[in-house]
Amino acid sequence: MCGRFALTLPTEAMAQLFGATPSNDLPPIPNFNICPTTQVAVVTADGHGRRLRPMRWGFLPHWYKSPTDGPLLINARAETLADKPAFRAACRTRRCLIPATGFYEWTKDADGSRLPWYIAASDGAPTVFAGIWQDWEQADTMLTTCAIVTTAANSHMARIHHRMPLSLEAKDWPLWLGEAGKGAAQLMHPAPNSRFTYYRVDPQVNSNRASGPGLIAPLAA
């Protein structure tokens, strides 16, 4: 799964990377501790090109009466994406890209304490998660929301968690966004073992209030 991530790429650099027009209300960057229900930067595409826009991380099905009316859907399993009532329409027509610098996972020690790990691309490049999105509206409230698609972990990542975000290479972005026609399902598989590296970081990131670049620094021996 993916429960927290970091993004340090400036807005102008993201817009250039994706060939997208940025909105003027994107969330502040850098953010080393992006948590569920906060605004994240997301790339969508339509007949007028790509847009870099803000969305609430936490997908809201249309039948939710309020943002807290059901489980917090920050991840969507690739294996059941096309079948789950909450996700199947978005899977067909509302796919997106969610940029990140890296993300966090946790293991536990013998005493049950949570040990955080930071995972990033082995080559230092930005990571791009596959996502889905949906507009949600009730009464006078309208939110645009998203979830990160996840797969079973590859053997490298399985040492720390059994799930991982679905990450996409640049050549796959047009297919996931629907710009290159149908067939996005063929992209829903774990990344190769070589794509990510990971290391322990300070437990201060266990708090969703923690901030700053020290969160992604390797834990001192």
The predicted pLDDT at position 221 comes to 65
Which residues have a Cβ under 8 Å from the Cβ of 18 and sit 6 or more positions away? 43, 50, 52, 97, 99, 173
Considering the domain boundaries, does residue 195 fall inside one? yes
- Give tens-digit pLDDT for 41-61: 999 999 889 999 999 999 999
Cα–Cα dist 198/216, whole Å:
10
CATH number at residue 195: 3.90.1680.10
The predicted pLDDT at position 123 comes to 96
Can you list the residues of the chain whose pLDDT is less than 70? 221
Considering the domain boundaries, does residue 154 fall inside one? yes
Domain membership of residue 98 as a residue range: 5-205
Considering the domain boundaries, does residue 24 fall inside one? yes
Other CB atoms within 10 A of residue 127 CB: 22
> H or E segment at 18?
helix 11-18
Considering the domain boundaries, does residue 171 fall inside one? yes
State the pTM of this model: 0.97
The predicted pLDDT at position 51 comes to 98
Cα–Cα dist 50/22, whole Å:
9
- Give tens-digit pLDDT for 99-142: 999 999 999 988 889 999 999 999 999 999 999 999 999 988 99
The tally of domains found in the chain comes to 1
Strand partners, 203: none
Cα–Cα dist 113/194, whole Å:
29
Cα–Cα dist 150/74, whole Å:
10
Q: Are the C-beta atoms of residues 49 and 24 closer than 8 Å to each other?
A: no
